[in-house]
Structure 1
Amino acid sequence: MGTLETEASPKLAEKVVKEEGEIDESELSPIEEVRLIVPNTDDPSLPVWTFRMWFLGLFSCILLSFLNQFFGYRTEPLVITQITVQVATLPIGRFMASALPTAKFRIPGFGSRKFSLNPGPFNMKEHVLITIFANAGSAFGSGTVYAVLIVTIIKAFYGRSISFFGSWLLIITTQVGLLDVFLASGFNNKT
């Protein structure tokens, strides 16, 4: 009969050392599985703000916000979370890394900087940022933006119309906590 035990790779605890050569225990995760998989050091050479990240991140944010708002009006609402995008974008990102051209070109207005659609293999940093975009699109896991329901109730149950700007301002101020404080302080009558 086989066992589920596997041979562990060299622990990262040996790699996380202080300048004097001592192991820095405060930098280590208390969970062994996390210590074995996730490095405690950053690799600054990995590209982050890539075309793949922006394309997949914005697309996932827009798609999740649309789908969750669309399905939010059902009796049993279907909520699509960022985990779905996280699972789906890994093979898509790897495919884009193999399919996009690696040629570098200049964009007018950015000086002598060069830009590439494919700066290298798809990495964990890009994947994390795509997941953050998707999380924002799924209304941070709750599915829909609650202020849209207020606008819907005003139109459907009270029969009143509300302008697009008023609706937009209501939704933005309820989504962004600091914006409503800023607007309240800006419109404060100081006499």
Structure 2
Amino acid sequence: MGEIGTDDRGLAVAKDEEGLAGVVTGDDEETSPIEEVRLTVPSTDDPSLPVWTFRMWTIGLVSCAVMSFLNQFFTYRTEPLIVTQITVQVASLPVGHFMARVLPRTRYRIPAMLGGGEWSLNPGPFNMKEHVLISIFANAGFAFGGGNAYAVGIIDIIRAFYHRSISFFTAWLLVITTQVLGYGWAGLMRKYVVEPAHMWWPSTLVQVSLFR
């Protein structure tokens, strides 16, 4: 085998000594044939890094709530202002490092009935996995690019144009149902649009590069 280049579609190809080209598949199905993906997304994993930490849950939930409120609040402006999740992605990094510096490192034992082991408010330095999950939380608050939940528009139309009353529980159930329905479809389509190595989303590569 010789050098590796790219064809017109951006796929990685291998050129042998005779100049014949073929798509690089490799033994690992998770290796992306897209050169841009291989250069941006790391192919290695460190399972020792803590993920479900107090920092991640705190910053993630707060960012999701704040993003949801701000985007819904600004939706009613004549010129809507949309706060994207990249704002949280950038702002959460120094906050995470600050919490890693000031939070106590005391370790607490978890009862055996809850799985056992140890737990700490500050398991170590703020890592990339925590940062990624915080950004996912923020993206949920950003309604995945829409700025606000679409179902809120239905509630606005019912009350503002049809002058009909709708209870808080009914409105809340409508919004939650439509949002969870989207998560359900995402889970069903994960096998086809997420897991295959040849599926790539160019708009997310910029965000992934920020994590590194």
Shift of 1:107: 5.5
Shift of 1:63: 0.5
Give the secondary structure class of the aligned counterpart of 1:140: helix
Shift of 1:160: 1.1
- Matching residue within 92, 98, 104 for 1:95: 98
* Unpaired stretches in structure 1, ≥5 consecutive residues: 1-23, 182-191
CA RMSD of aligned residues (A): 2.6
Is 2:128 aligned against 1:124? yes
Shift of 1:173: 2.2
Bigger Rg over Cα: 1
Runs of at least 4 residues off by over 6 Å? 178-181
Is 2:72 aligned against 1:83? no
Cα distance 1:171–1:180, how it changes in 2: closer, same or farther (>3 A)? farther
Aligned letter for 2:66?
A: L
Structure 2: distance between partners of 1:54 and 1:117: 11
Corresponding position of 1:139: 143
Is 2:157 aligned against 1:153? yes
Higher share of residues assigned strand: 2
Cα distance 1:111–1:175, how it changes in 2: closer, same or farther (>3 A)? closer
* Unpaired stretches in structure 2, ≥5 consecutive residues: 1-25, 186-212
Structure 1: distance between partners of 2:65 and 2:86: 15
Shift of 1:178: 6.6
Is 2:9 aligned against 1:31? no
Structure 2: distance between partners of 1:87 and 1:178: 26
Aligned letter for 1:31?
A: E
Is 2:151 aligned against 1:176? no
How many matched pairs? 156
Q: How high is the TM-score relative to the length of structure 1?
A: 0.73
**CA deviation string 1:160-180 (max 9, x = no partner):** 101122212221222222799
- Matching residue within 37, 40, 44 for 1:41: 44
Structure 1: distance between partners of 2:82 and 2:157: 21
Equivalent pair of 1:64/1:138 in contact (CA under 8 Å): yes
- Matching residue within 94, 104, 109 for 2:107: 104
Cα distance 1:104–1:82, how it changes in 2: closer, same or farther (>3 A)? same
Q: How high is the TM-score relative to the length of structure 2?
A: 0.66
Cα distance 1:155–1:93, how it changes in 2: closer, same or farther (>3 A)? same
Aligned letter for 1:173?
A: T
Q: Which moved more, 1:112-121 or 1:123-132?
A: 112-121
Structure 2: distance between partners of 1:122 and 1:160: 49
Identity %: 65
Cα distance 1:86–1:146, how it changes in 2: closer, same or farther (>3 A)? same
Corresponding position of 1:70: 73
Structure 2: distance between partners of 1:180 and 1:130: 21
